[in-house]
């Protein structure tokens, strides 16, 4: 499972997941990016965790001074460079989000959208600890997960991906309450408001939960 995204659901397969999405899912995806853009200033240096093929970074560089995207998949990194046309404002590196090779207090904003806190399949505490370490004091960390109001649209989207054999067949007997399980071992959970509160309470940071577009829950954290 730890290598599902790096070995199966990556590059052009990952890109196709977004292309088959319904208009409502595409609205959710754009609403997440729009929310992140609202938090940015023109002089910000941004870290995009789990950047994939550069889908989010490509829009963030329109406002931020620089965006560095990291991903565990080397193939994703190669595609991301092409996707943003090797923009000088954007850099992509192969790296583990829970073991970052950046100095302390380096980024103004660290971003982990579309349920990365679950999808990365790493220890969330280690993930957040590293995010805090590399983010400047007074900077922001933005994590998002799915709102429970979005469940029907999310399940439909995952079914579309399974139909295209981008994911394994969905096991409907185990898929419920925000958890999607596929028969090939893939499992996608969500982070609730309480889950985010339990995670952030382990650290000396300010945190608030904001629902966006009735589809995302954003945990907005300030490093102090």
Strand duo 216-223 + 205-212: pairing: antiparallel
Average pLDDT of span 129-157: 97
- Computed over every residue of the chain, the mean pLDDT equals 93
Distances (CA, A) of 77 to 43, 89, 128, 177, 200: 24, 15, 22, 33, 29
In the structure, what pLDDT confidence band is assigned to residue 63 with cuts at 50, 70 and 90?
very high
Mean pLDDT within 92-115: 97
Q: What is the mean predicted confidence (pLDDT) over 168-193?
A: 94
Which has more pLDDT, 164 or 86?
Answer: 164
**Coil, strand or helix at 134:** helix
- For the chain, how big is the Rg over CA atoms in Å? 16
Whole-number pLDDT of residue 2? 47
């Amino acid at each position: 499972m730890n290598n599902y995204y790096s070995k199966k659901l990556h590059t052009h397969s990952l890109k196709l997941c977004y292309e088959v999405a319904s208009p409502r899912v595409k609205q959710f995806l754009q609403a997440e990016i729009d929310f992140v853009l609202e938090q940015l200033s023109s002089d910000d240096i941004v870290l995009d965790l789990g950047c994939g093929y550069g889908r989010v970074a490509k829009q963030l560089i329109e406002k931020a001074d620089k965006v560095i995207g990291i991903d565990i998949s080397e193939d994703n990194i190669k595609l991301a460079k092409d996707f943003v046309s090797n923009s000088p404002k954007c850099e992509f590196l192969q790296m583990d989000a829970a073991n970052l090779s950046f100095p302390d207090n380096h980024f103004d904003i660290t971003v982990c959208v579309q349920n990365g806190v679950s999808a990365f399949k790493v220890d969330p505490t280690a993930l957040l600890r590293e995010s805090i370490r590399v983010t400047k004091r007074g900077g922001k960390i933005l994590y998002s997960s799915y709102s429970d109001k979005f469940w029907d649209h999310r399940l439909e989207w995952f079914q579309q991906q399974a139909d295209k054999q981008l994911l394994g067949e969905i096991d409907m007997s185990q898929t419920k309450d925000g958890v999607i399980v596929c028969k090939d071992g893939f499992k996608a959970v969500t982070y609730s408001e309480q889950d985010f509160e339990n995670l952030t309470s382990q650290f000396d940071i300010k945190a608030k939960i904001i629902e966006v577009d009735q589809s995302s829950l954003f945990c907005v954290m300030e490093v102090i």
